[in-house]
Copies of this chain bind each other. A is one copy, B any other.
Amino acid sequence: MTGLSSAPSTVTPGTVHIVDDDEAIRDSLLWLFQSRSVAAHAWASGEAFLDAYHPDMAGCILLDIRMDGMTGPELFDALLARGCRLPVIFLTGHGDVPAAVAALKKGAMDFMEKPCDDNALVDRVIEALAHDAEQRARTAGQATLAARLATLTQRERQVMELVVAGKLNKVIADDLGISMRTVEVHRAHVFEKMGVKTAVELARLLVSAP
């Protein structure tokens, strides 16, 4: 844990997906990343990547702006529409301020002009991969939370909300027009299903995530 490792530099948690219609550039980028132990995969068009895209894909996207067929920004929009959260780095040969601003405001991670420094590019990609891995871990936590929430009954959910709102059982019983004993039962079920022991833990789960 002292950071003295001299192993193959970075253990990359995902793949950088290169989308460019110029084969020479694809090959050159593939070579660059492979030489730095970063897993890379190239696609010859936006359509090709879009067809292959699946929400489980981990990594990041290196995207050319001007391409035959679907352009980089068009692919970006299409991916966003499908809920894709992969970090995107744009690569472009011809500076275009409005395009750069639009891309970054939509959430692109970077917008670099070719030719750009290999080291800078690799660094940015590694950053993007780390960002995706981190985000993926967070999302996984939220998914298990959502799965647990899904097992709750209607009533249990209602009771849970009031419990998390800090209300006492007697108040909850009154609000819902049921007996205190029933509230206690639902409350206990909620605790069990959500895997917590106290109302405070439950509140923390729900306040930090949704």
Interface residues of A (CB under 8 A from B): 92, 95-98, 100-101, 104-105, 110-113, 163-166, 168, 196-201, 203-204, 207-208
Bound form: Cα–Cα A170–B104 in Å: 52
Q: Is the CB of A110 within 8 A of B100?
A: no
Report the 10 A-B pairs with minimum CB-CB distance, sorted nearest first.
A95-B97, A166-B200, A166-B201, A104-B104, A166-B198, A207-B207, A203-B203, A200-B203, A101-B111, A97-B100
In the complex, how many angstroms separate the beta carbon of A58 from the nearest chain B beta carbon? 23
Kindly identify which residue among B96, B98, B105, B208 contacts A207, using a CB–CB cutoff of 8 Å: B208
Q: What are 23 of the A-B contact pairs (CB < 8 Å)?
A: A92-B97, A95-B95, A95-B97, A97-B97, A97-B100, A97-B111, A97-B113, A98-B113, A100-B100, A101-B104, A101-B110, A101-B111, A101-B112, A164-B200, A165-B200, A166-B196, A166-B204, A199-B200, A200-B200, A203-B203, A203-B207, A204-B207, A207-B208
Bound form: Cα–Cα A163–B201 in Å: 10
Q: A95-B95, A207-B207, A207-B208 are in contact. Are A163 and B200 (CB under 8 A)?
A: yes
Bound form: Cα–Cα A209–B89 in Å: 31
Q: Find chain B residues with CB under 8 A from A100 CB.
A: 97, 100-101, 104
Bound form: Cα–Cα A165–B203 in Å: 11
Q: Find chain B residues with CB under 8 A from A198 CB.
A: 166, 168
Q: A199-B199, A207-B203 are in contact. Are A105 and B110 (CB under 8 A)?
A: yes
